[in-house]
Chain A
Amino acid sequence: MAALARLLGARRDGPGRPLHWTDIASYAYLAFGVVLMFGPVLWLVFSSFKTQSALLEFPPSLMPMAQVEVTVAGQPNPLPLFRATLPDGSVKELAQIRRVGLVAQMVDPAEPDKTYRVAIDKREPVRKVALATENYTEPLRQFAFLRFLSNSLFVTVVATAITLLINSMAAYGLAVYEFRGKTAATLAVIGTLMIPITIVLVPVYLVVTELGLVNSLWAVILPGAATPTGVFLLRQYMLTLPRDLIEAARMDKASEWQIYWRIVMPLTLPALAVLAIFSIMWRWNEFLWPLAVLTKTEVYTLQIGLAAFQGELQTQWHYLLAMTVVTLAPVALVFVFLQRFITTGIGSTGMK
Chain B
Amino acid sequence: MSDGSSRPPGRPSAGTARVPASARWRDRAAGLAGLPVALALRLLDPLMAAVQRLIGAGRMPYVFLFPNFVFFGLFVFLPIGINLVFSVTGGPALFPSERPFVGAEQYAYLFDCGSYLDPSSCREDHFWRGVSNTAVFVLFQVGTMVLVSLLTALVLNRPIRGRGFFRAVYFFPVLLSPVVVALIWKWILQRDGLLNAAITSLGGQKILFFVDPSWAMFWAVFVSVWAHMGFYTLILLAGLQAIPSDLYEAAEMDRTPRWRILWRITLPLLWPNMIVVIVLSLIKGVQTFDEVFVLTGGGPGTATLMVVQYIYETAFANQVQNFGLAAAASVVLGLVLFALTLAQLAATRMKER
Query: Which residues of A come within 8 Å of B, CB atoms?
Result: 1-2, 4-15, 22-23, 26-27, 29-30, 33-34, 36-38, 40-41, 43-44, 47, 56, 58-60, 157, 160-161, 164-170, 172-174, 176-177, 179, 182, 185, 188-189, 191-196, 198-207, 209, 222-226, 231, 240, 255-258, 260-261, 265, 267, 269-274, 276-277, 279-281, 284-285, 287-288, 291-292, 303, 306-307, 310, 317, 320-321, 324, 327-328, 331-332, 334-335, 337-348, 350, 352
The listed residue with most A CB atoms (<10 A of its CB), out of B155, B249, B330, is B155
Contacts of A164 in B (CB 8 A): 33-34, 37
Q: Residues of A contacting B235 with CB < 8 Å? A: 346-347, 350
Partner of B187, one of A44, A222, A291: A44
Chain A proximity mask over B19-59: 1 for CB below 8 Å, otherwise 0: 01011011101100110110011101100110110000111
B258–A6 CB distance below 8 A: yes
Contact B287 A198 (CB under 8 A): yes
Taken together as a complex, chains A and B put the C-alpha atoms of A213 and B60 apart, in Å, by 31
Is B164 located at the chain interface by the 8 A CB criterion? Answer: yes
Complex contacts, A272 vs chain B, CB 8 Å: 30, 34
What 0/1 pattern do residues 226 to 261 of B give for CB contact below 8 A with A?
A: 100011001101101001010011001000011111
Whether a CB of chain A sits under 8 angstroms from the CB of B192 is yes
Report the nearest A residue to B174, measured CB to CB: A352
Contact A321 B10, beta carbon cutoff 8 Å: no
Which residue in chain A gives the minimum CB-CB distance to B151?
A8
Sorted nearest first, the 5 A-B pairs with minimum C-beta distance are: A270-B10, A5-B259, A173-B64, A285-B177, A257-B48
> Do A10 and B248 touch across chains, with their CB atoms under 8 A apart?
yes
Given A33-B169, A274-B10, decide whether A198 and B22 contact each other with a Cβ distance below 8 A: no
Contact of B12 with A267 in the complex, beta carbons under 8 Å:
yes
In this complex, the member of A37, A320, A328 whose beta carbon has the largest number of chain B beta carbons within 10 angstroms is: A37
Contact check, B183 vs A310: say whether CB atoms are below 8 A apart.
yes
* A352 CA to B231 CA, complexed, in Å: 8
Distance in angstroms from B38 CB to nearest chain A CB is 8
Contacts of B188 in A (CB 8 A): 40, 43
A285 touches B176 (CB 8 A): yes
Q: Please, could you name 18 A-B residue pairs with CB atoms under 8 Å apart, sorted by A? A: A7-B155, A9-B158, A9-B261, A60-B192, A169-B65, A170-B65, A188-B72, A198-B311, A199-B331, A202-B330, A255-B57, A256-B48, A269-B27, A270-B10, A274-B9, A310-B294, A328-B180, A340-B164
Partner of A195, one of B23, B76, B151: B76
Cα distance A190–B344 when bound, in Å?
A: 12
Q: Chain B at the A interface: mostly helix, strand, loop or mixed?
A: helix
**From B10, B171, B178, B261, contact of A269 by CB (8 A):** B10
How distant is the Cα of A176 from the Cα of B52 in the complex, in angstroms?
16
User: Which residue on chain A has the smallest CB distance to residue B341?
Assistant: A194
**A143 CB to nearest chain B CB (Å):** 16
Q: Are B289 and A202 in contact (CB under 8 A)?
A: no
Q: Give how many A-B residue pairs fall within 8 Å (CB-CB).
A: 398
CB <8 Å contact, A9 and B262:
yes
Q: Which residues of B contact A27 (CB under 8 A)?
A: 160
- Given A38-B169, A255-B49, A350-B276, A345 contacting B29 (CB threshold 8 A): no
Smallest Cβ-Cβ distance to A177: which chain B residue = B61
Asked whether B110 is an interface residue with its Cβ less than 8 Å from the other chain, the reply is no
What residues on A are CB-neighbors of B157 within 8 Å?
10-11
Pick the most buried of B172, B240, B257: most chain A CB atoms within 10 A of its CB.
B172
What are the residues of chain A within 8 A of B323 when measuring CB–CB? 202
Q: Out of A261, A332, A334, which one reaches B29, CB within 8 Å?
A: A334
B34 & A60 in contact (Cβ 8 Å cutoff): no
Specify which chain B residues have a CB less than 8 angstroms from the CB of A59 in the assembled complex.
197, 200-201
Inter-chain CA distance A231–B65, complex, in Å, is 10
Contact A40 B341 (CB under 8 A): no
Q: Report the separation of the CA atoms of residues A203 and B12 in the bound assembly, to the nearest whole angstrom.
A: 42
A293 CA to B308 CA, complexed, in Å: 16
Q: Give B147 Cβ to nearest chain A Cβ, in Å.
A: 12
Kindly list chain B residues whose C-beta atoms are within 8 Å of the C-beta of A43.
184, 187-188, 194
Among A33, A188, A261, A306, the residue within 8 A (CB) of B42 is A261
Whether B179 pairs with A348 at a CB distance below 8 angstroms is no
Contact A203 B80 (CB under 8 A): yes
Give A15's nearest chain B residue, CB to CB: B159
Judged by a CB distance under 8 angstroms, whether B82 is at the interface is yes
Chain A nearest CB, measured from B42 CB (Å): 7
A26-B160 CB under 8 A given contacts A169-B65, A321-B187, A331-B177? yes
Cβ-defined contact, A203 with B197, below 8 A: no
Which residues on the B side are within 8 Å of A224 (C-beta)?
Answer: 75
Assess whether A331 is in contact with B176, with CB atoms less than 8 Å apart: yes
B319 touches A (CB below 8 Å) = no
B103 contacts the other chain (CB 8 A): no
Residues of B within 8 A of A338 (CB): 22, 25-26, 29
